[in-house]
């Protein structure tokens, strides 16, 4: 029987992506209609599976073997963990054999199946946490035989194909086939005799050779599960697709769903190779590739800084024609003629004479941030097992047909460094620099039979000559105290920053210690509820004492000359004044419920007037078969019916994350009953069943959408807020820009459509050194605030930690402007006039108004200024209006 509960539980615990979950659902269905057993009739099993999955025409093995073709980067190893978990928990299978095609993948699989490793595939599976599977490998199986280890209840064998397929010198069999007295047979024969051995084949297209096929067949597993991103084998007549692909999730889908980078083919604007020598084109591609690489490096750093992520170091892969060509390229890149020798110690050549496994091991370290290598020269197209995430630029310099070039080169660079798309184009894109092959690659990508569709990136000469840098907008108080940001960049020196407030090095050291002590004290809001309290005598006395205990004066060069100790009290007082003058009191407010939070959905009557699915005809079912919903059609044709028609609706509803089956089962079945009754009002039971199978997901979504209007939250649950800090240090922001100096904020740039590319400076009251605006309206508002406020700022991400609900997600709200006026502190949000009533805009407004109310309450208790919020349409912001006028018109309090 179907085990949908196990599928749901495993998908949730392992956080499976949609294609991984679908694969697990297919395995659930297949093992229901063809239970894994040694006695299964192969021909009959094929017919049964074909009846539901017509794409299967041949198992291609001497046992039922099914291929799951998932694009690179989607997560095949995690899916193997899900398969094993499901077969253990739902089908009681205890013996698994995981096959690797080479040493690199073999070692990676062992690591991923070993507990307490970073990518452990069973993390979150409580059953395996209590009783983990025994891991048997090509190096450990003999020791485990000697100790009786083969008798453990759940065993996962991981072997390299060479361990079982190849023969050793002298005509002897591999050791795995050697007789062992402890078990009365060879380990290979022991495995073949197991009644429940399931074979999982990673990169299964590598096991189609005669020796590999024969060895696998001799293992006689009850089921084979193949995983690959390339479900075909090459032949003299071209690629031959597998006949046992049961689920195909190609690269195009993975890109569309955001699981991998977007590959883009790169060329120059108006590039024409006619009349250019091969050497000239090669030089141009290399230089453009490195320029692009430098730009990407900046974008990656900027993204990491803005989002508090680790900084990713990208690298360039150059594909050479042969070893001699690789050596020539290596010499060129290490010379002074190539970017003034800047990459001389940042390039490695991977010699094709080295064994493939050793080559990949050498390449794998390139992903590490402390590895200086930024250019890799390689001769052969890199194959499976090289799972780096920081390859961003590929420069192919060897001849290859477009399809091979696309599939083999980009396959190694598709993985995302943060595991998901960021929304930043440069961070989410893989670049293939192919000036002379541009049109050929575009044509291949646009071929209806192509596995992907490439984006195009055309570089202008101006873009190539314009160097991008990361610029940090640091709070001005940091430069006043002589403090640098945590991870300074080359560009910080070029930013306009105020001079330090202290000239003497020892005074500067005291100021830094005082600043750190004041920051620490901010976590005691009962003692220091806002920055004005920093000037109180008892607070300053405490800080002076703490600074004195930590201060170490600079060592004098001439012995015997004692340098006077700085006036601690004066420096501490001056530091406190700087903190008051160059910051705004932004409290840290935490909201928490009192007691248990209870929520759910109230019973209601569905509006089903718009649901009128016709009775499916045989022709309609066949048409649906041609739209890739093969499984759905197969379910109906094979009479895959739940015990009750209501179960179709319920099983679709429990997939939504906000529905808890155990707590809401009665309501779910009531709603499902309404749907079934509605369908039965004009369809027969059989027709209603076919509609429920065919449109299960659409029906579940329709019901779930109506449920949202009947969501309830226990009103008896009280929420309270706590002020954890009376003030917080101002956070820095990071921007990507070219080397152009900041523009005068008072002057509107000529190209207003590209506002985000400019930096602005020249401020007198802004609390950061520079600022960036997304529109000219924001620049105008900055002009108004420079004229009228005491000080203002553009808050960085994480400054307020306010969150609003968008659909089922809770997202951070980052207001556009905060300014301190004479009598209040204001939060300002300019917005396009056409967006003023958008759901997300109003949700942000509501959380901001609530936050301002709490902040005002705290301020009033300690003599501070109240907070106010305004949501302002863009066309109302002109330079001659006042902040007071804007609040009279658009204030939300």
Query: Is the pLDDT at 179 greater than 50, yes or no?
Result: yes
Q: pLDDT tens across 111-120, in order?
A: 888 888 878 8
Task: Reduce the DSSP state of residue 517 to 3 states and report it.
Answer: helix
Longest CA pairwise span in the chain (Å): 105
Q: How far is CA 59 from the centre of its chain?
A: 35
CA end-to-end distance (rounded Å), the chain: 59
Segment holding 625, helix H or strand E: helix 618-625
Q: Compute the chain's Rg from CA coordinates.
A: 33
Query: Is the pLDDT at 817 greater than 80, yes or no?
Result: yes
pLDDT at 398: 73
pLDDT at 279: 85
How far apart CA 86 and CA 106 sit, in angstroms, is 23
How far apart CA 680 and CA 683 sit, in angstroms, is 5
Query: Is the pLDDT at 135 greater than 50, yes or no?
Result: yes
Share above pLDDT 70 across residues of the chain, in percent, rounded to a whole number: 77
What residues contact residue 398 under an 8 Å CB cut-off, 6+ apart?
A: 319, 320, 321, 322, 325, 379
Query: Is the pLDDT at 809 greater than 80, yes or no?
Result: no
Domain 254-466 has CATH 3.40.50.300: yes
pLDDT at 254: 83
pLDDT at 348: 86
How far apart CA 343 and CA 333 sit, in angstroms, is 6
* Torsion angle in degrees (nearest 10) through CA of 658, 661, 664, 668: 100
Query: Is the pLDDT at 621 greater than 60, yes or no?
Result: no
Q: Which residues share a beta bridge with 179? A: 186
Range 763-780 average pLDDT: 91
Task: Output the pTM of the full model.
Answer: 0.60
Range 214-227 average pLDDT: 88
Range 594-608 average pLDDT: 79
pLDDT at 296: 80
- Tell me which DSSP letter residue 435 carries: G
Range 562-590 average pLDDT: 88
Q: pLDDT tens across 62-110, in order?
A: 899 999 998 877 888 899 999 999 999 889 999 999 988 877 778 888 8
pLDDT at 448: 60
Helix 696-707 / helix 646-653 crossing angle, nearest 10 deg: 60
Query: Is the pLDDT at 527 greater than 70, yes or no?
Result: yes
How far apart CA 564 and CA 580 sit, in angstroms, is 28
pLDDT at 625: 18
Task: Reduce the DSSP state of residue 516 to 3 states and report it.
Answer: helix
Lowest mean pLDDT among 92-101, 299-308, 471-480, 862-871: 299-308
What residues contact residue 511 under an 8 Å CB cut-off, 6+ apart?
A: 481, 482, 501, 502, 571, 574, 575
pLDDT at 99: 87
What residues contact residue 73 under an 8 Å CB cut-off, 6+ apart?
A: 254, 259, 260, 261, 414, 415, 416
Helix, strand, coil shares, percent, the chain, to 5: 45, 20, 40
Share above pLDDT 90 across residues of the chain, in percent, rounded to a whole number: 25
Query: Is the pLDDT at 781 greater than 90, yes or no?
Result: yes
Q: pLDDT tens across 683-735, in order?
A: 888 888 877 877 787 788 778 878 877 877 665 656 678 888 889 988 888 87
4-249: CATH topology is Rossmann fold (3.40.50)
Sorted by where each begins, the domain ranges of the chain are: 4-249, 254-466, 473-583, 599-713, 741-890
Helix 18-33 / helix 76-91 crossing angle, nearest 10 deg: 40
pLDDT at 632: 27
Q: How far is CA 185 from the centre of its chain?
A: 48
Mean confidence (pLDDT) of the chain: 79
Decide if 244 contacts 65 (C-beta within 8 A): yes
Q: Which residue has the higher pLDDT, 644 or 591?
A: 644
pLDDT at 221: 93
Domains 4-249 and 254-466 share a fold: yes
How far apart CA 633 and CA 758 sit, in angstroms, is 55
pLDDT at 676: 93
CATH class of segment(s) 741-890: alpha beta
pLDDT at 441: 61
Predicted confidence band of residue 401 (pLDDT cuts 50, 70, 90)? low
Range 307-316 average pLDDT: 83
∠ CA 652-656-661, nearest 5°, is: 75
Highest mean pLDDT among 249-258, 480-489, 507-516: 507-516
């Amino acid at each position: 029987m179907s085990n949908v509960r196990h599928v749901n539980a495993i998908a949730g615990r392992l956080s499976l992506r949609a294609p991984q979950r679908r694969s697990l659902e297919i395995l659930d269905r297949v093992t229901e209609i063809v239970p894994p057993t040694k006695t299964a009739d192969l021909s009959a099993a094929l017919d049964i599976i074909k009846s539901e999955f017509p794409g299967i025409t041949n198992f291609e093995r001497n046992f039922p073997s099914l291929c799951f073709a998932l694009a690179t980067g989607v997560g095949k190893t995690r899916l193997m963990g899900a398969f094993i978990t499901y077969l253990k928990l739902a089908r009681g299978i205890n013996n698994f054999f995981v096959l690797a095609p080479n040493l690199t993948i073999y070692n990676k699989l062992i690591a991923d199946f070993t507990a307490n490793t970073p990518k452990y595939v069973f993390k979150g599976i409580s059953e395996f946490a209590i009783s983990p599977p025994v891991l048997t490998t090509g190096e450990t199986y003999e020791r485990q035989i000697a100790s009786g280890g083969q008798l453990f209840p759940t065993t996962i064998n991981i072997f390299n194909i060479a361990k079982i397929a190849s023969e050793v010198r002298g005509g002897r069999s591999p050791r795995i086939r050697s007789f062992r007295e402890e078990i009365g047979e060879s380990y290979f024969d022991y495995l073949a005799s197991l009644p429940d051995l399931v074979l999982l084949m990673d990169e299964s297209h590598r096991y189609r050779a005669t020796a590999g096929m024969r060895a696998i067949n001799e293992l006689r597993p009850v089921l084979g599960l193949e995983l690959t991103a390339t479900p075909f084998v090459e032949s003299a007549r071209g690629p031959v697709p597998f006949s046992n692909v049961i689920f195909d999730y190609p690269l195009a889908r993975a890109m569309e769903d955001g699981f991998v980078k977007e590959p883009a083919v790169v060329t120059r604007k108006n590039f024409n190779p006619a009349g250019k020598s091969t050497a000239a084109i090669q030089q141009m591609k290399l230089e453009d590739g490195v320029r692009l690489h430098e730009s990407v490096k900046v974008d990656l750093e900027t993204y990491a800084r803005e989002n508090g992520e680790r900084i990713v170091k990208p690298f360039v892969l150059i594909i050479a024609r042969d070893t001699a060509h690789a050596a020539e390229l290596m010499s060129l890149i290490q010379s002074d003629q190539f970017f003034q020798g800047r990459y001389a110690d940042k390039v490695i050549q991977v010699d094709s004479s080295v064994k493939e496994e050793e080559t990949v091991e050498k390449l794998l370290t390139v992903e590490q941030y402390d590895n200086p290598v930024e250019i890799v020269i390689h001769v052969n197209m890199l194959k499976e097992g090289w799972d780096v995430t920081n390859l961003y630029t590929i420069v192919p310099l060897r001849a290859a047909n477009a399809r091979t070039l696309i599939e083999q080169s980009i396959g190694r660079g598709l993985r995302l460094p943060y595991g998901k798309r960021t929304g930043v184009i440069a961070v989410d894109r893989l670049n293939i620099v192919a000036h002379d092959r541009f049109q050929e690659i575009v044509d291949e990508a646009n071929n209806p039979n192509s596995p992907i569709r490439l984006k195009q990136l055309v570089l202008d000469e101006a873009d190539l000559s314009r160097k991008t840098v990361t610029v940090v907008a640091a709070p001005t108080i940091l430069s006043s105290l002589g403090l640098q940001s945590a991870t300074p960049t080359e560009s910080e020196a070029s930013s306009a920053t105020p001079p330090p407030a202290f000239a003497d090095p020892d005074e500067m050291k005291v100021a830094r210690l005082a600043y750190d002590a004041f920051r620490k004290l901010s976590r005691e809001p009962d003692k220091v509820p806002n920055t004005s309290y920093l000037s109180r005598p008892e607070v300053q006395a405490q800080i002076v004492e703490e600074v004195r205990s930590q201060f170490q004066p600079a060592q004098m060069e001439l012995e015997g000359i004692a340098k006077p100790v700085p006036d601690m009290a004066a420096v501490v007082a001056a530091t406190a004044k700087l903190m008051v003058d160059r910051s705004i009191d932004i409290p840290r407010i935490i909201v928490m419920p009192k007691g248990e939070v209870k929520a759910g959905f109230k019973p209601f009557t569905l509006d089903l007037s718009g649901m009128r699915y016709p009775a499916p005809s045989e022709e309609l079912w066949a048409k649906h078969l041609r739209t890739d919903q093969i499984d759905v059609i197969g379910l109906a044709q094979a009479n895959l019916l739940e015990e009750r028609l209501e179960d179709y609706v319920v099983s679709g509803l429990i997939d939504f994350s906000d529905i808890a089956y155990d707590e809401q089962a009665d309501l779910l079945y009531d709603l499902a009953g309404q749907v079934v009754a509605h369908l039965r009002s004009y369809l027969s039971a059989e027709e209603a069943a076919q509609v429920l199978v065919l449109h299960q997901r659409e029906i579940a979504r329709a019901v779930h959408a109506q449920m949202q209007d009947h969501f309830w939250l226990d009103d008896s649950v009280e929420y309270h807020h706590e002020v954890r800090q009376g003030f917080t240090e101002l956070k820095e922001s990071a921007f990507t820009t070219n080397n152009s100096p900041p523009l005068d904020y008072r002057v509107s740039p000529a190209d207003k459509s590209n506002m985000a590319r400019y930096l602005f400076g020249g401020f007198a009251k802004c609390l950061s050194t520079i600022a960036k605006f997304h529109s000219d309206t924001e620049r105008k508002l900055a002009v108004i605030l420079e004229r009228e406020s005491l000080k203002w700022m553009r808050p960085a991400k994480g400054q307020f930690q306010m969150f609003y609900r968008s659909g089922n997600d809770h997202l951070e709200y980052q207001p556009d402007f905060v300014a301190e006026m004479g009598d209040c502190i204001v939060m300002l949000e300019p917005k396009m006039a056409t967006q003023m009533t958008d759901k997300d805009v109003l949700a942000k407004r509501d959380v901001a108004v609530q936050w301002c109310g709490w902040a005002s309450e705290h301020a009033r208790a300690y003599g501070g200024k109240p907070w106010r919020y305004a949501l302002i349409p863009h066309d109302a912001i002109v330079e001659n209006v006042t902040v007071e006028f804007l609040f009279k018109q658009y204030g939300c309090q």
